[in-house]
Structures are given as structure tokens and as C-alpha cells.
Structure 1
Amino acid sequence: MRQPSPSSNAIDASSAARTPRMRGLSPRQRIVMTFTFFSMFFGAGNLIFPPFVGAQAGAAAVPATVGFIVSAVGLPILGVLAVSFAGGFDNLARRVSPGFATVLAVAIILTIGPCFAIPRTATTSFEMMVAPFAGADGRWAAQLIYSVAFFALSFLFAQRPEKLSHVLGRFMGPLLLALIAVIFAACLVHGVGTPAVPGGDYASGQLTRGFLDGYQTMDLLAALYFGIVISANIRANGVGDEPQVRRETAYAGLGTGALLVLIYGALSYVGVVSGAIVAIDPAHDTGATVLTNLTSSVFGTAGTAFLGAVFVIACLNVCTGLICTCASYFHERFRTVAGHGVSYRAWQVVFTLFSLVVSNAGLSAIIRVSVPVLSALYPMAIVLVALALTHRWFAARFGRVYFWTVLLVGVTALMGCVSDLVVVFGGSLPWLAAALDLLPLQSYSLGWVVPAVVGMLVGVVDSARRHGRG
């Protein structure tokens, strides 16, 4: 698949003549590109979940945070590298089959886009910035007005995907980091006191629980397609050689990973401090509650407004990046619908308006439905990334491992998704739940691991058999 966004097509021969070709970005440009990538990743979930992990894990925050960082940072950055090596995620997914590549791509784009992630940015920032000051009677009207303003601003920022680094990389990203640094510094001054006893989902198995909660950031799925926008920004800075564009994308991904590790570690510590100040109820409280407790205690009444500003900036950054990514992909893949050409701007309008409607359904509803869907998509994405990283010395020699591994993992993950979605909507499928419970590691929500191993073995045998026939 070609990686540039549709707006990168505007970087035509005349603009190329105005911008001299470069072998690579300068150190300053790489820093800006890293901040751009970071800003696209770091949104509502990235702010909420690390403090919640720290507050629940308490004295066991270190292993919990390590598990969270592995899945919330390690997997996305490996995803960026894998996609860069493969020349695009579609090229990687086509190693399973062309049809699978299209279906999985659309499912991922809709998940990180208008169905879940984009609406969540507006809803979460509203909950933190406006809801505390809005009366219960006028809440629905306040949310509608806020979401219209929020998406209008994101739509405006997303007009030129290849210029996104001018907004996110040079201004919004550094501002967000500065605000998070203020919160962390306040925690260092306050001190942690006596950490809380691990509770909730983190009463035991903190490492595994942290790993699974890292799914909620959706960053692995986003990483598979954020390269579309980052690549366009790199080209706009004068890099015309495609292998160098992929290398610069990988550099930006590695820099983003380093920033995320530092920020997640800091926010987990913030959660430990907050949990020591005010105990939380894991069944009802969220990471937003953890942060609110802390800022209210440290900063007083101004703390709520300060925290709301942090959330608005983070969510606006991610919303803008996601709108660019989704509209760019659909424009490239579906240039015509029902015989009519569809522009980047048209897709941008569709995704923005759809997200506006979904965002007013409420944060809890979005999260409840998204969890099973993520549990289905993440295992397939993980095995594809793993196979891509071993392609040269393993998967390329046994090409059928892609088909069989993804098939068995996909069937298992989709069965789990169906079972969980039925429960979300008030039903139950006890026979399906019982069948899934027979899988090793299913109690840790890792029932797909053994099917993945079996799929690789079957793929090796199938590849050897076909090679023998040839």
C-alpha cells in the first residue's frame, strides 16, 4: 500500500522544486517529528490508565507499571518498526491474504476512529473540563455544545495532515509535556507517604494485569496507521527517498517510545501518591478520579480547572491525529464509492460528524463496548507484528505461518469478543464461555497464546509440505 496521505499528493512537482530533497531530517526536525508522533498517541486513555494502575497497585506499582509499559509502549513501538520494515501495514496484512488485509484494516480504522477512540477524546475531556462546573439539569446541552466546539477545532487542525507537525510538534506536544511535568513535580514535593495496599484487579498478578490494561490505550492499533500521517509530514520536510522516509518514521517512533516510558512512569507514581491521599473504589472510580483527587488536594479549587486543561489539550491532539489518519486511509483505499469520487475532505467530514454523534452517548457506554472489540483485534495485531519482526529469518522461510497463526488466533479472539459483547448487552452464552475456559491462560485473558503457537507450528509444516511438492 502507498503510505502518503491524500494531502501529500498536493506536494507535487512544484512544491518539490521549492523544497530541496534531503537525505534525512535534521536533529531539530527529528525532535519536532517525535513530539508530533507523541501528541498523536497521548490522549485520554494515556492520561487515565497509568494513574489508575498506580493507585490500585499501590505498593506493587513497579511490576504493574512494567506490565503496562510493555503493552502500552513496547507493542506500539514494535508495531511502528514492523510496519516500517514491511513498507506499510497493508503489505504486512496481505501476507495473510488480500481480503483479510482489507477487512482488518477497516476494522482497526473504525475502532481507533469514529466508533471508539475519537468519540472518547471528546467525552473524556468534557468529563474533566466542563462536567464539574455544569449543573445536572443542563448537562446534556453542555455536552452537545462542548462536543460541537471540540470537533470543530479538531476538524480545523486536521485540514492539512502533512502540516500537522506545525501544530502538534512545535506547540501542543511540548505544552502537554510541561503540564504533566507540573503535576509530577507537585507529587515529588508532596511525597508518597505510605503506599496503599494493592487492591481491585491489582490485588494479585500485577504484572499481567498491567499488561492487559495497556490494551485500553489502543496505541498498538493506532501505531499501525499513524505512519500514514507521519510519513506525509516527513516528506513535507523535504525527504523524498522512500526508504529514508521509513527510517525517519522509525526514529520518530523510537523517540516517542522513550517519552511514553518516562511519562507513564511519572503518571503511575502520581497514582501511587493520589491513592495514598484518598483511597479509591476500583469498581466505580476511574483514572480521572485518581487525578482529580490529587490535583484538588495539591492545588485546591484551581486543581480541577488545571487538570481539565491538560485533558483538553491531550484529547484535542489525539483527535486531530486520528481524524487525519482515518480520512487519509479511506481516501487512499476507497477513492470511489458507488461510482463517485470521495475526497479526503469528504471523509474528514463524515468521520467528524459520526464521532460527534457517538461522543454524546457517554463515556461509560463507549468503554463498555470497546473492551471486547479491543480484545479481539489486539491478539491479531500482536501476532502480525511478531511475525513481521521475525520475517527475514523465520516467517519469510515459512510463509504459511502468517495464514495459520492469524486464523487460529482470530477465531479464538472473535469467539471471546462475541461472548463478552453478549454480556455487555445483558445476555449470556454459557456454552461459549465454557468452551473458551478450556484454553490455557484464558483466566488471564491470554487464551489466544496457545492457538498462536499451534498456528505457527501448523504453518511451518504446511510450508514445508508445499515446498516439498514444489
Structure 2
Amino acid sequence: MLKKINFNLIVTGLAVFSMLFGAGNLMYPIAVGLSSGKYTYIGLAGFLITAVLLPLIALVAMILFNGDYEAFFERLGKIPGKIMMAACIIILGPGLVIPRIVSVAHLMISQFLPFEILQSLFVFSIIYLGITFLGGFKENKIVDILGLVISPLLLGSLAIVIIKGFLTSETFVPTSSTALKAFGTNMLRGYGTLDLLGTLFFASIIIKILKDKFSNNNCDKICLKTLAIFGLKAGTIGVGLLAIVYWGLSFLGAYHGHGLIDLNEGEAFKQIVLNVSGIHGALILGIATLMACLSTSIGLGAVTADYIQKNIFQNKVSYITSLTIVMLACIPLSCYGLGAVLKITGGPLTFIGYPTLIALTICNILYKLFNFKYVKTPVAATFIITCLAYFIF
């Protein structure tokens, strides 16, 4: 039984990694190195705070709430909680993240597709979202699909290019950044991964499926009581892998990003892969990107479909019907291309929405651990202060 639990721990940790490691997780670490140059270690430290530590904190919060994201958000009040929850789901689903994932996958793999019609963003989007639908079709198999199939392929592909990049490393890219600026800029850049947001909802799927696994394995009550610890260990494995990959990708940007500072994150990532490994390396990373994007979009599709089924349709339609609706809703924005989608990622979403969500997460953890009952005032204060800072300063 212990071996079975350890195997499930590793698989679940890999699944957490795959769910979180999507389009932004490939692009933004490259940008850390590009912008930081010789200060990449310092820039990476800032990036890891928001791109790795925050998702782990979110996982702790959701474990404390037993995976119930409705209870988590409704501490703000029933109506404000539902509004914030719906906004988060729209962002994670058809409103931003899934279309961003589709755009990055197309950018990296389209040049290798055999037929010109497949290189069309519209056609690619439909096919990609169809595959995402199939991946999320069996909700109770998502962890196994991600942990046993996609994660090993993704990690192997990334390792090849990162190692080759280090073996052929050049001088750091020139930068006008200071150490302090590198830290602050990349700490904010970590918001762009949106992994705090994703973890709050992914955790509900992970915890639900883990409960099923423990039940199916006939674990006793003691095992069930250790579910929270198990989930935290799995999450630590997942975000630990994220940190290692971020470290490798950021130094790829720092060593091989000469002359690419004016490109958007996706184009810079693509060009660096070509610089490091040539066309064959680009194919390898294209496959890795496709794997990363599929893994995250499968998880996001499942989360969004679950929300729609329970909260919009009140369980009057099936999970499959809800998943179909989500995939169809993702098509329009997916067809606009990466540049257009990236413009949505910044601005108020990053500088107002994310700090507000961080405040809610911290207040909820303090509530569960120390019975800290204040939530509306700290969250409202954070919202007001960040609004003033964004629009005035």
C-alpha cells in the first residue's frame, strides 16, 4: 500500500506541474533572462516569489478549504464572492488563458505541420480545442493522463534544449537594468503566469480525484486524514519542478537572447530555441510546447466545465455538455493571435486583480489557521490602493 501511495504522490506531483506549466510558463522565464542579463539570478528570485511561491500558498489555502473554491470566494460575501469567482473562471477559460495557450502552441508548432491548411490559426484552434476536449473527456482520468504521459514527455523535451543551451552558452545579454529593477520587474512578471489563479481551481480537481483514489484503494480513515499532507507534498513536487525549469529557461534567455529584446515573449522564446538548437531543436521545443499547452488547457477546460455545470446550469446538464460549451467559447479569441492576447494579460488584470486575489488568499489562510475573521476590509483596501497606484501613479 505504501508503494501505491508513493506512486500516486509522484504521479499527482507531475500532474500539478503539467496543469500549471502552460504557455506563460514557457515565455515569461525567457523574458526574465532577456531583461535581467547579468542580474538574472536576482531577477529569477523575484520571479519565483510570484510564479512558484504564490501557487504553493494557493494550494495550501485550497487544502484548508478542502478544495471548495466556492467557500473560499464566498468569504467575501455571497454576491461579491460569486462575481469574483465568475471573473476568475472567465479569465482562466475562454476569456484569456486557454486562447493564450492555443496561440502559443500555434506559434511554436505551425511551421512543422505538413499541410498549409493546418497552419491556419482558425483550423489549428479547432483541432487543438478538439484534442483538449478529448483529454478532459474522462474527468477522473485527468491526473493519470497528465502525470503518466504528458509530464515525462514535456520534461524530457525541455531538458534536451536547456542542457544544450548551457553547453553552448555565450556572454550575458547586455542590459541597462539594475539589480533592484531586475528583482521588481520580474516579480511583477510572475503575475503573468496566472498560476495563483489556476491553482485555486486546479486544487479542487486534484483533491477530488485524490479522494477517489484513496477510496478505491480501500485506505482506512487514517489515510484519509493524511489527504491534506499528501496534497501538499504533491504540490511541492509540482512547483519544485516548475522552479527548476524556470531556472533553466531564464538562463537560456540571458545567454542566448542577444538582439531579441524588442520581440514579444513568444517570438523571443521561439527565436532562442532556433539559436540554440537549430530547426531540429525548434521541433523538439515545439513538441514540448504543445505538450505543455495541452496539459494546462485540459486542466483549465475541466475546471471551467465543472464550474459551468454546477454554478450556471445547476447540474441540469452533463459535464461533457459543459466541456463542449467551454471549448466552443474559446474559439473566437484563440483566432486573434498571440500579440493580441498578450495585451489583455497586462494592465488592470496584473496590477489590480492579482494583488486583490493575493490578499483574499492570505486572509483565508489566516482564517483557517488562526481564526482571523477580517476579509472584506483587507481585500477592499488592497483593491483601492492598487487602483490608485495603477491609474494615478
One fold, TM greater than 0.5?
yes
Equivalence for 2:234: 252
TM-score (norm 2): 0.90
Q: Give the CA deviation at 1:158.
A: 0.3
Asked whether 1:95 is paired with 2:72, we answer: no
Which is worse superposed, 154-163 or 370-379? 370-379
Partner of 1:457: none
Name the SS of the counterpart of 2:76 in structure 1: coil
Structure 1 residues 342 and 375: CA distance shift in structure 2, 3 A: farther
CA gap 1:131/1:375 in 2 versus in 1, 3 angstroms:
farther
Q: Does 1:196 align with 2:176?
A: no
Larger CA deviation: 140-149 vs 377-386 = 140-149
Are 2:18 and 1:39 aligned? yes
Secondary structure in 2 matching 1:267: helix
1:114–1:351: 8 Å Cα contact kept in structure 2?
A: yes
Larger radius of gyration: 1
Deviation by residue 1:268-320 (Cα, 9 ceiling, x = unmatched): 11111212xx32233xx133333333332332232332221111111011111
Structure 1 residues 4-23: Cα deviation after superposition (integer angstroms, max 9, x where no partner) = xxxxxxxxxxxxxxxxxx89
Q: CA deviation at 1:124?
A: 0.8
Corresponding residue SS for 2:172: coil
- Superimposed CA distance per residue, residues 120-173 of structure 1 (whole angstroms, 9 cap, x where no aligned partner): 1111110111158799xx789711111111111110010112111221100111
Task: Give the structure, 1 or 2, with the largest relative contact order (CA under 8 Å, sep 6 or more).
Answer: 2
Decide whether the 8 Å contact of 1:40 with 1:321 is kept in 2. Answer: yes
Aligned-pair identity in percent equals 24
Asked whether the 8 Å contact 1:274–1:290 carries over to 2, the reply is: no
Contact 1:131 1:139 in 2 (8 A): no
Structure 1 counterpart SS, 2:47: helix
CA-CA distance at 1:373 after TM superposition: 2.2
Relative distance call for 1:370 and 1:182 in structure 2 (3 A) is same
Greater fraction of residues in helix: 2
Match of 2:308 in 1: 330
1:279 alignment partner in structure 2: 259
Q: What is the aligned length?
A: 385
CA distance in structure 1 between the partners assigned to 2:182 and 2:114 by the alignment? 37
Tell me how far 1:247 sits from its aligned partner: 3.2
Deviation at 1:369, TM superposition (A): 1.9
8 Å CA contact 2:43–2:179 kept in 1: the answer is no
AA at the equivalent of 2:6: P
Q: Which amino acid aligns with 2:198?
A: A
Of 338, 356, 364, 1:388 maps to 364
CA distance in 1 between partners of 2:245 and 2:239 (Å): 10
Q: How far did residue 25 of structure 1 move?
A: 6.1
1:406 maps to 2:386: no
In structure 2, how many angstroms separate the alpha carbons of the residues matched to 1:350 and 1:220?
25
**Cα deviations by residue, 1:157-203 (Å, 9 ceiling, x for unpaired):** 10112111221100111110111110111022112x3212224x778
Distance in 1 separating the partners of 2:293 and 2:312 = 28
Distance 1:158 1:393 in 2: 34
Other-structure match for 2:252: 270
> Equivalent of 2:152, from 170, 174, 191?
174
Following the alignment from structure 2 to structure 1, what is the Cα–Cα distance between the partners of residues 232 and 3? Answer: 12
Aligned 8 A contact 1:335 1:343 in 2 = no
Q: Structure 2: how far apart are the matches of 1:119 and 1:47?
A: 15
The within-5 A match list for 1:220-369 is: 220-239=196-215, 243-275=225-257, 278-282=258-262, 285-336=263-314, 341-369=316-344
**Cα distance change on mapping 1:24 and 1:202 into 2, 3 Å:** farther
What residue in structure 2 maps to residue 68 of structure 1?
47
Contact 1:154 1:320 in 2 (8 A): yes
Rounded to whole Å, the distance in 2 between the matches of 1:238 and 1:217 is 31
- How big is each residue's C-alpha offset from its partner over 1:368-394, in whole Å with a ceiling of 9 and x where there is no partner? 123232333211211122223333565
Q: 2:27 aligns with which of 30, 48, 53?
A: 48
Aligned amino acid, residue 378 of structure 2: T
3-state SS in 2 of match to 1:356 = helix
SS at 2:131 equivalent = helix
Q: For residue 466 of structure 1, what is the aligned residue in structure 2?
A: none
- Identify the match of residue 98 of structure 2 among 118, 129, 132: 118
Deviation at 1:24, TM superposition (A): 11
Matched, 1:207 2:183: yes
| 2:43–2:184 contact (8 Å) kept in structure 1 | yes
Distance in 1 (CA, whole Å) between partners of 2:25 and 2:293 is 10
CA–CA distance in 2 between the matches of 1:263 and 1:27? 23
Q: Shift of the alpha carbon at 1:355?
A: 0.6
Give the deviation of 1:243 after TM superposition. Answer: 4.5
CA distance in 1, matches of 2:11, 2:119: 38
The alignment partner of 2:171 has SS state of coil
Determine if contact 2:50/2:187 at 8 Å carries over to the other structure: yes
Residues 316-366 of structure 1 deviation map (CA, whole Å, 9 limit, x = unaligned): 111111001111122222343xxx922211211111011122100222222
Cα contact 1:24–1:248 (8 A) shared by 2:
no
> Is 1:79 matched with 2:58?
yes
RMSD (CA atoms): 2.6
What TM-score do the two structures reach when normalised by structure 1?
Answer: 0.76
Distance 2:186 2:260 in 1: 17
Q: 1: CA distance between counterparts of 2:158 and 2:135?
A: 23
**Which residue number corresponds to residue 186 of structure 1?**
164
Alpha-carbon distance, 1:263 to partner? 0.9
1:412 deviates by 4.1
1:14 corresponds to: none
